[in-house]
Amino acid sequence: MPAENAQKVLQYVRSKPGRKARAIAKELSLDRKEVNAALHAHSGDLVRQDDEYCWWPASNGELHVELPRACTINRFVGTLTSCGGFQDGNRRIELEVPAKCFMPVSGMALLTAWGLQQRAKGVELDITGDVGTRAYLSRMDVFEVLGVSFTEKFDRLPEAGRFIPVKLIEDYDGCSAAVNAVCDLVIHQFDDARQFLPALEWAVNEITDNILIHSESATPGVVCAQFYPQRKRLEVGICDMGRGLRASLGEAMTLDSDEEAIHQATKRGVTRDSTVGQGNGLAGSLDIAKVNGGAFEICTGAVTCRFTADGLAKVTAHEHMPGTGVALSLKTDRPVDLGETFIGAPNFTFLEGEAIRITEAGGIRVREECAHTGARPPAKYLRRKILSLLPDLEGVLVLDFDGVSSASSSFLDELLGRLAGELGAAGFHELIQVRNMTEHLRAMANVVIEQRMSTDTEEGMSLKVE
């Protein structure tokens, strides 16, 4: 083969790795035998062949991957597969983050799950590039989980009410902790959390449970979530590097493609084994997303399917990836009544469990719940949580101000003033008990409460502190 054509072949492998010699020859309109000869002549130094006879650039153990600007699941998978990120033989992988990179939680979950798989293989990981995106990944605990070095030049504030960092699904305790974290985020954000929460809790619980029951993943699954207040959207990303839907369902039926596996998995009652699951998790989650008007995305094997509220599924093909990634996007202003779906009412909810936990803990410690006590937002998040929990609490809810030496009037008004205004004087004293508040803060609180009660044409009240 002329040297010019040989260079074309090598360049093709660099730009479109993972192809067989036959496909390369057809694409370049060259003789297949000559293409094979050129590839084998440079095997080991410039290119390498995997067990399925596909050709890849020879990295000598070093692999550099430039991430896409929009790191959605399917784009992320496409990038990793095209660069050989899922192949064995890598010693060190550097991921370069482009400027103004958009990293949704679904892509972040995939990044973390994939990174854990690489770490288990002994691969050293590094993430370079855009500082802002890397700071975000660090705050979401991705770097800590993956052992990537990064110096944080910011103060960490509590994540309650804004996002949940990556949570690992290794056992049922991890599954429960991840679901509870997502639920806790919600009750800080919405006044009608009691209506919105049951459907979300059911979906996240079912999807994470699938990781433990069906995936057979050698490394932990990953969950993370982010709330976007201006868009009124809650997005949850869940991913594992297990065997994927086709291999799992393949125990019970014959499947010709990964796309068929997804469509079967999203049908009610379809499962690999009825003794370990009812097969309603993905079907119910998809139903919730449709009723909500949100979106539901599943990535497994060689395809990604994105379902929208109109019931249509957009299918994107890519190279094969292990495991399964799920992106759940819900409109927070459109609660879903589970009673109107085939799922029905849940037996036990996060709110009931959280009410028990708070009672056993002796109440809510304001210092632990709020990032600070100098402005309204942290108080608003806490007040929403309190109002969501009150119907499930037996007896009074203790608000413990131990360790809070100062607070702004706006914080006290947003928390105590508005609680008093919404519950009324009698309701507040019956349901809320304030402890360990300094006399200075009590005096400030009484001023804002009196003003709030006067504005709301309620009789005045004085704060009782124990």
439 within 8 A of 406, measured Cβ to Cβ: no
Q: Which amino acid is at 61?
A: G
Residue 224 β-bridge partners: 237
**What pLDDT does residue 406 have?**
92
Per-residue pLDDT of the chain (466 residues; tens, 9 = 90+): 677 888 888 888 877 878 888 998 888 888 888 888 888 887 876 788 887 888 887 766 778 888 999 998 888 888 888 777 887 778 889 999 999 899 999 999 999 999 999 999 999 999 999 999 999 999 999 999 999 998 888 777 665 557 899 999 999 998 999 999 898 888 887 777 788 888 999 999 999 998 988 888 999 999 999 998 888 899 999 999 999 999 998 888 899 999 999 999 988 888 877 666 677 889 899 999 999 999 999 999 989 999 987 766 888 888 788 899 999 999 988 888 887 777 876 767 888 888 888 988 899 999 988 888 888 888 998 998 999 889 888 889 999 999 999 999 999 999 999 998 888 888 888 999 999 999 999 999 988 888 887 655 445 566 666 6
Closest CA to 402 of 449, 465, 450: 465
* Angle in degrees, CA 433, 436, 440, rounded to 5: 105
394 within 8 A of 360, measured Cβ to Cβ: no
166 within 8 A of 141, measured Cβ to Cβ: yes
Distant-in-sequence, close-in-space partners of 137: CB < 8 Å, separation ≥ 6: 103, 108, 111, 127, 143, 150
**What pLDDT does residue 327 have?**
94
**What pLDDT does residue 371 have?**
80
442 within 8 A of 465, measured Cβ to Cβ: yes
Query: Structure tokens of 428?
Result: 């507040």
**What pLDDT does residue 17 have?**
79
Residues 80 and 319: their CA atoms lie apart, in Å, by 9
Sign of CA dihedral 139, 144, 145, 149: positive
User: Coil, strand or helix: which one is 46?
Assistant: coil
Residues 182 and 226: their CA atoms lie apart, in Å, by 9
Go through the domains of the chain in sequence order and give each one's CATH number. 3-58 (1.10.10.10), 63-340 (3.30.565.10), 350-455 (no CATH)
**What pLDDT does residue 170 have?**
93
Chain centroid to CA 376: 27
Residues 275 and 214: their CA atoms lie apart, in Å, by 12
Residues 43 and 337: their CA atoms lie apart, in Å, by 59
Characterize 61-79 residue by residue with b for buried, 16 or more Cβ atoms within 10 angstroms of its Cβ, and e for exposed.
Answer: eebeeebeeebbbbbbbbb
Q: What is the pTM of this model?
A: 0.79
